[in-house]
Amino acid sequence: MNIVADIAKGERLTFLELFQQKHYDVEIPIIQRDYAQGRASSREVREVFLDALFNYLEEGLPHRDLDFIYGSVERQDDGLNRFIPLDGQQRLTTLFLLHWYLATLTGNQAAFQSTFLRRQRSRFTYETRSSSQEFCDALVAAVIDLGQLLPPDEGKQNRLSKTLRDRGWYYLSWDQDPTVQSMLTMLDSIHARFHSRPEFYGRLTSRDNRVITFLMLPLQEFGLTDDLYIKMNSRGKPLSPFENFKARYEQHIDELPWKNAGDYTLDFGDGPVVVSRRTYFAHQIDTTWADLFWNYRGVGGPYSSFDKELMNFIRVILSAAYALQKSAGKDETLEYLFGTQVVSRRPDYSDVISYHNYQQFGALSKKAFKLLTGTFDCLSNGNQPIRVHLPDTFHFDEQVVFRKVLDHSLSQEQRVQFYAYTGFLIEHKGDITGLTPWMRVIYNLTVNTVIDGAEEIASALRSVKELLPYSADILNQLTRLKTTAVDFFYRRQVQEEQLKAHLILKTPEWGQAILAAERHGYFLGQILFLFEYSGVLEWFEQHGHCNWSVAEDLAFLSAFQHYTASAGAVFATIGTAANKDFIWERAVLTKGDYLPWLTAWRRNFLIRPRDRDYSWKRLLRLPPPSAHADDIYQQAQQRDLVKQVLDDPIFNREDLRGSLTLICKNRPSDWRRYFIRKPALIGYCSQGYIRFFQSEHNIRLYKHSQQNHTQVELYTYDLWLRELENKPLGLPFDYCYYQDVRTGDEQPGIRFTELKLGRKTYRMELDYQSEGTTFEFRFYKEGGKTSLEAYQAELTTVLEAQELEWYEQDKHFWCLADTATKAMEKLLALSKALAELKATL
């Protein structure tokens, strides 16, 4: 049975006509769930429906259909017919309450009772519970003065329900009936919304201008069985968010300002039939499209139906459609639709967006409908999961990304890629010729462009939309486009894709070489630096094409393959045990200072492989041509340091570690030599950050990125690691350790404590003084500043013999050593003298 095929048989009726014209009594069967629209948890559903009824009555236009009402008709013992709804219970109950209220508001209670009351029993009733039946009977028979309602409880709008509960005919046991409580809640909402519109009664009950109607389909005409009835109604659960969305959206489709009927067709077995957009959506969502999503039920959890997955899918499509219609700029609605981290912390945020929300957002446009149905259609695959069109999953994993759509876990890049993928299928009506190069280009552009938030996602989507008409032949199109013709995406990456398009189209050898380089696990499509190293980029920028000679082609290709192999070998080790002692970073330091600046004082070693802002991948990325000339020059110099290592005669990609170790033996004389000589200094910087305080003689190493984490000073920490840490030097102090600090005002350094001489205890500090570029010893008596007389005479003699001078202002002995070697010599000599003194006291 196909109800959609027989919708013409539906009879358009008003609620009153069910009783007055058809002479039906209406009974909600026992197998139906309780009345739900009045539940406290269904506030949005209730308000949306009442808003719709209010607007229909205010406009007064005829035949505002509330969709279909399905049910069976049974002959009663008294010879009258009873209509038992299969679908439409909620709408019928709300209409019953609205008729009662407006009749009461306008003094037409007698007319209402003449229609709905027979032998003191309500002709609209519930079979679910006897208390529900009794309440309906009492409500229809009741006479209420809406001008004399009791005052509401504090913080509530319950004047009407409170008054009804106060009546003598109201039984307290009815408070336990969820249908009765929902009816009371609905009556309060109706009162709040309709109390000032008595004219609505005439419009609601008019026989000449039937405003609010529905199409009634008696089940017997379609051969529906009791089994089907039970199957559709035995759940006893509230409608899911998807079911609510579907019902309201189907109605909304007809309300959109279409200029023509469209070209939607369905085949019900007798050949294609032209149908309305609403009919097409309603049929497909229950059949063909549902078959696709049935394969993915449980993606959202082991006990989930596919309703949740469908709502997530719809959200992705409708948010993309909304973004495509908006102009550039910040938009809170975009943040909400995309579910960004910023908006997800808002108290009103939900991962499930209702129809009402979409309507408020303005996200249910004609273009949104076209994109939604087009995406559904292009992915549908009979009873099977989505088709896999791509030869491999490197640039786009169709199954994985689709599951992320259903699980609401797309990354920013994947969201754009999914739109590009489905957009291609829609644009070319399922013809996948050109899909592979298209998704390769989209992958390269999205992965190598910063897409942080909703505004960037929207801009990326709009840029993809501009390219979609050319997507079947994207390589040829790229050779004709100017870089600026592709909005949003990083300009250098666009230029790179254009250069690669020229070369891929030029010869198969270039195509193979480029695709191999792109797929390197570290480069991921960003290889413009390889074209720069091999001289190809310079030629391309000068000529705008790659029409060089055969000899030049061989030379360029050979150079490109050489640098691809060399750089590929190096960057395959980044973040692995093969580079655990930062052999690569230290080798580049031998060529020069490659560390990029984060601020005016912080710099970075690039030791975090996937750091977006500070990694080798970022350093190798060419800046846009519009960048400041000084930045372009500086970054070119830094990239050239990498090239110098790859060009070094010692470098050998077959013996990578051995050759880099030999390169590291060529140490410069400035601050770089310390890091090259002692990799643990780089290792201390877990996130790669160091700070230069005005000069290379005042360098702090940061354990983490911020200054309020621990930090050490370069030269004393180097001395500590090389000469003192875990070294049995026989020092007379009980403790020797390195003191790190958490602010720039504190002084880190080496500390020697608990030197006990007789009854007195002393300590010593070894710091680095950047102003004089020297190491400084300070010898104190424990317990605070004290005069020279407090020191033992024997100790004073030893300290002075070791060339330590008394500093009266700070009450300590001190001396300087201008190199680390002299500092160690002084430390050992002083320690020996103090140890001898300690033995005598």
pLDDT of residue 236: 39
Helix, coil or strand: residue 809: coil
* Residue 128: predicted pLDDT: 66
Residue type, 599: T
CA distance linking residue 525 with residue 443, whole number of Å: 8
Question: Distance (Å, rounded) from C-alpha 781 to C-alpha 810?
Answer: 11
Question: Tokens 């077995």 — which residue?
Answer: 269
Tell me the torsion sign for CA atoms 447, 453, 455, 458.
Answer: positive
Provide the pLDDT for residue 47.
85
C-alpha 377/C-alpha 661 separation (Å) is 59
For β-strands 24-28 and 11-13, DSSP reports them as unpaired
pLDDT at residue 4, rounded to an integer: 37
The pLDDT of residue 33: 67
| Residue 589 burial class via C-beta count within 10 angstroms: exposed 0-12, middle 13-18, buried 19 and up | buried
DSSP, residue by residue, 417-471: HHHHHHHHHHHTTT--TTHHHHHHHHHHHHHTS---SHHHHHHHHHHHHHHGGGG
**Cα separation, 339 vs 337, whole angstroms:** 5
CB 325 within 8 A of CB 464: no
Quote the distance between the C-alpha of residue 480 and its chain's center.
Answer: 35
State residue 300's pLDDT score.
62
Using the structure block, give the residue that is written with the tokens 């009664």. Answer: 201
Distance between start and end Cα atoms, the chain = 109
3-state SS assignment for residue 69: strand
Asked if residues 306 and 405 have their Cβ atoms less than 8 Å apart, the reply is no
Q: Domain limits of the chain?
A: 3-238, 240-482, 490-552, 577-709, 714-840
What is the Cα–Cα distance from 707 to 743, expressed in whole angstroms?
Answer: 6
| pLDDT per 10-residue tile (average), the chain, 841 residues | 42 92 88 74 81 90 82 78 86 95 95 92 85 92 93 91 94 89 94 95 94 82 43 47 83 89 82 89 88 84 71 96 88 90 80 88 96 97 94 97 95 97 96 97 97 93 96 95 80 96 97 97 96 98 96 98 98 91 97 89 89 89 92 95 98 97 96 97 95 88 88 97 92 96 92 94 94 92 90 95 95 96 96 94 82
Cα 7 to Cα 156: distance, rounded to the nearest angstrom:
43
Burial class (CB in 10 A: 0-12, 13-18, 19+), 113: middle
Phi/psi region, residue 754 (left: phi>0; alpha: psi -120 to 50; beta: rest), is left
Average pLDDT, the chain: 90
Q: Distance between CA atoms of 185 and 668, rounded to whole angstroms?
A: 82
What is the distance between the alpha carbons of residues 611 and 630, in angstroms, rounded to a whole number? 24
**Confidence at residue 241, expressed as pLDDT on a 0 to 100 scale:** 80
